[in-house]
Amino acid sequence: TERPPLLDDEDGGILLYSASSSSSGYGYVSIEKQRQRLPVFKYRTAILYLVETHATTIVVGETGSGKTTQIPQFLKEAGWADGGRVIACTQPRRLAVQAVASRVAEEMGVKLGEEVGYTIRFEDLTDRDSTRIKFLTDGVLLREMMEDPLLTKYSVIMVDEAHERSISTDVLLGLLKKIQRRRPELRLIISSATIEAKSMAAFFHTSKKRRGLGGEDCVPKTEPAILSVEGRGFNVQIFYVEEPVSDYIQAAVSTVMSIHDQEPMGDILVFLTGQDDIDAAVRLLTEEAQSNRKSSSGLVVLPLYSGLSRADQDLVFSPIPRGKRKVVIATNIAETSLTLEGVSYVVDSGFSKQRFYNPISDIENLVVAPISKASARQRAGRAGRVRPGKCYRLYSEEYFVKEMSAEGIPEMQRSNLVSCVIQLKALGIDNILGFDWPASPSPEAMIRALEVLYSLGVLDDDAKLTSPAGFQVAEIPLDPMVSKMILASNQLGCSEEIITIAAILSIQSIWVSVRGQQKDLDEAKLRFAAAEGDHVTFLNVYKGFLQSGKSPKWCNKNFVNYQAMRKVLEIREQLKRIAQRIGIVLKSCESDMQAVRKAVTAGFFANACNLEAFSHNGMYKTIRSTQEVYIHPSSVLFRVNPKWVIYHSLVSTDRQYMRNVISIDPSWLIEAAPHFYQHHQPNSIPH
């Protein structure tokens, strides 16, 4: 194929290799032309008119129609960022924030971090003076409200991906509704792929009269406007399996191979659930490609999940050599948040990782659970972006029709609310039960959260933030239990160590993920293993990393993920700064690991477990609610089974597994949270 001539100036002179042509030959399309071809382009005037005249505009449109990348640019072109104001666009996922921000910067021909920037937790790529369009997670915007409750620097806030109903999105919507009453000039755009626009509109429709600042004409209509962007998705043919599959990873791999053997060119997008199964599938496909040169040689297999390094993320969007077929194996991040051009085939496992919380047992964990019909339709839709496509569902038609639920449950109704409650409290929202939620959380979950916060010493008898502890905990952008652990480390003289632990716990894993090399990884871990447990093991790894001079080679040799360690250093620096700001003195306890374990207990006492006396298979019971749990095989305490432990989080597969475990002395529990334990289990803890 011939390359078209380089573009003339009218097109802005910015050239881009169109990702959609990656499988069908080389070609350059100007970014300006690409923009004009997007469905939202035709609605530019309508969108701008509605935003001008309505306080809230709801935009519904197919994934890939240009909502996220175009609407902020339209707003800027129309002057909404003039006079030092900023246009905000929120996303539930960090990876999506980075990807769309860099795309928009590229489209505008500016350097990321200047006119277009982004902020995610522990990473701020914006400029105080020059950033006009800012992408950020909804969680970060909530945090910004602690400094600036009315979010005064923003002229328009676009809450994107509202259909995901993430917990932060829901809290944000409730708060923005309040802000609107005080700031009639603020405009909201709520955008999503499949939202139930009517119920969202009803939520934002307030009959209360606003107090306008200017004349009556300046006051926008309070009734939300709804705009539906007509997409131009192509037809997608759906295939089901006849019999349920027992191993969806293997089934996905075989399906990819048969598509590659039998179907014409076009990229393949596979939906699995998380890093573990995605890495496994990537490996199986790569092996397949090596063993069976002929049929699979044309495959370029790439993973896509959060926690991937920037370079690996970028690969997913980059063109691949002509004649090759791209296979992207993704979590549900590719369902609606990110658009991959050139996909013609979708393989849908029917599962995703979801958070579930049971307020009765007070247990929250990540579970691989069936997706909803709405998700299944979204996933299928990804195959029909550029031409008619095919979707292979790894479940039966009967299952789809009869058993899949129509819609997912909002995260608010299946999460632990501890973080959410403390944030609202910090924003001065006292009547949490009476808060105007888009979807009300269960009263049990609310009460549990209040109880934990009370025991952490964060709330007082009147359910107000305590001073200074409550305010300090709210100030740290981490789970309140982690923040409390950091506060406690101040008194215990081990803040240096605890900050390192907090930094490591806030990333997914510091180990290189290695299917097949599990034995080598286990051996490497043994070099650092501490009898006290995983938290202390992390300290050993960190120490080793520093002693090696932060060497990538050292990491390689020890199965430690170098990128992850770099991130740990970065997060650690930021946490140090925050800690100092709230008055924590940085101090090392040297080798006094008891101090470290006590600090962990001070934050995580609610996750204490006791080994069943006569258990031969390592069964523990949570002290709080006598749930059966086991130490995860990845823990250094697996098979060691100390009598009393505290876990950081739970994952559930065939059993409930505790990840990141530390051994404790049970008397510390009463010390750390007398109310919590004496109240619940008067006799089970030895004094």
Partner whose footprint covers residue 192, from Mg ion, ligand ADP, none (CB < 5 to 8 Å by kind): none
- At residue 685's C-alpha, the angle toward residues 682 and 686, to 5°, is 115
Pattern 63-82, Mg ion, x by CB under 5 A: -----x--------------
Shortest Cβ 343–Mg ion spacing (Å): 16
In sign, the C-alpha dihedral spanning 675, 681, 685, 687 is positive
Secondary structure letter of residue 352 according to DSSP: E
Q: With respect to ligand ADP, which residue has the nearer C-beta, 177 or 324?
A: 324
Task: Specify the residue, 96 or 280, whose C-beta has the smaller distance to Mg ion.
Answer: 96
- From the CB of 55, what's the least distance to Mg ion, in Å? 22
Cross-strand bridge partners of residue 154: 86
Nearest CB to ligand ADP, comparing residues 380 and 564: 380
Work out how close the CB of 573 gets to ligand ADP at its nearest, in angstroms, rounded to a whole number.
Answer: 29
Q: Which residues contact 596 (CB under 8 A, 6 or more apart)?
A: 489, 492, 494, 497, 498, 501, 532, 535, 536, 539, 589
Quick one: 338 or 521, whose CB is closer to Mg ion?
Answer: 338
Structure tokens at 97: 């924030």
687 burial (CB, 10 Å; 0-12 / 13-18 / 19+) is exposed
Near Mg ion by CB under 5 A, which window of 16-24, 61-69, 181-189, 553-561? 61-69
Q: Which residue(s) pair with 598 in the sheet?
A: none
Instruction: Give min distance, CB of 529 to ligand ADP, in A.
Output: 41
Which of ligand ADP, Mg ion, none does residue 341 bind (CB under 5 to 8 Å by kind)? ligand ADP
* Chosen from Mg ion, ligand ADP, none, partner binding at 382 (C-beta under 5 to 8 Å by type): none
Contacts of 319 (CB under 8 A, 6+ apart): 17, 18, 19, 21, 22
Closer residue to ligand ADP, CB minimum distance, 101 or 456: 101
Residue 317: contacted member of ligand ADP, Mg ion, none (CB under 5 to 8 Å, by partner type): ligand ADP
Size of the site for Mg ion (CB under 5 A): 1
Closest CA to 360 of 416, 434, 424, 419: 416
Half-sphere exposure of 402 (CA within 13 A, CB side): 5
Instruction: Write down the least CB distance from residue 98 to ligand ADP, Å.
Output: 10
**118 interface partner picked from Mg ion, ligand ADP, none, CB below 5 to 8 A per type:** none
Report the nearest approach of ligand ADP to the CB of residue 355 (Å): 24
- Nearest approach in angstroms of CB 232 to Mg ion is 16
Nearer to Mg ion, 60 or 476 (CB): 60
Nearer to Mg ion, 68 or 656 (CB): 68
User: For binding to ligand ADP (CB under 6 A), which residues are involved?
Assistant: 19, 38, 61, 63-70, 99-100, 103, 317, 339, 341
What would the two tokens of residue 354 be?
Answer: 């979801």
- Identity of the residue, 328 or 651, whose beta carbon is nearer to Mg ion in the bound complex: 328
Joined together, the tokens standing for residue 20 give: 């959609």
Q: What's the min distance (Å) between Cβ of 459 and ligand ADP?
A: 39
Cβ(134)–Cβ(120) below 8 Å: no
**Binding partner selected for residue 489 from ligand ADP, Mg ion, none, CB under the kind-specific 5 to 8 Å limit:** none
The span from the CA of 652 to the CA of 655, in Å, is 6
Nearer to Mg ion, 191 or 483 (CB): 191
339, interface contact from Mg ion, ligand ADP, none, CB < 5-8 Å by kind: ligand ADP
Phi, psi at 236, each rounded to 5°: -120, 125
Respond yes or no on whether the N-terminal peptide bond of residue 224 is cis (omega within 30° of 0): no
- Tokens describing residue 163: 């259909």
Residue whose C-alpha is closest to residue 137's, from 318, 278, 339, 306: 306
Task: Round to whole Å and give the CA distance between 17 and 199.
Answer: 41
Binding partner selected for residue 423 from ligand ADP, Mg ion, none, CB under the kind-specific 5 to 8 Å limit: none
Q: Kindly state the helix (H) or strand (E) to which residue 236 belongs, with its residue range.
A: strand 236-240
Minimum CB separation of residue 99 from ligand ADP in Å reads 5
Q: Report the residue number, 315 or 427, with the smaller CB distance to ligand ADP.
A: 315
Report if residue 169 touches Mg ion, rule: CB under 5 A. no
Query: Rounded to whole angstroms, how far apart are CA atoms 524 and 535?
Result: 16
Contact residues: Mg ion, CB under 5 A = 68
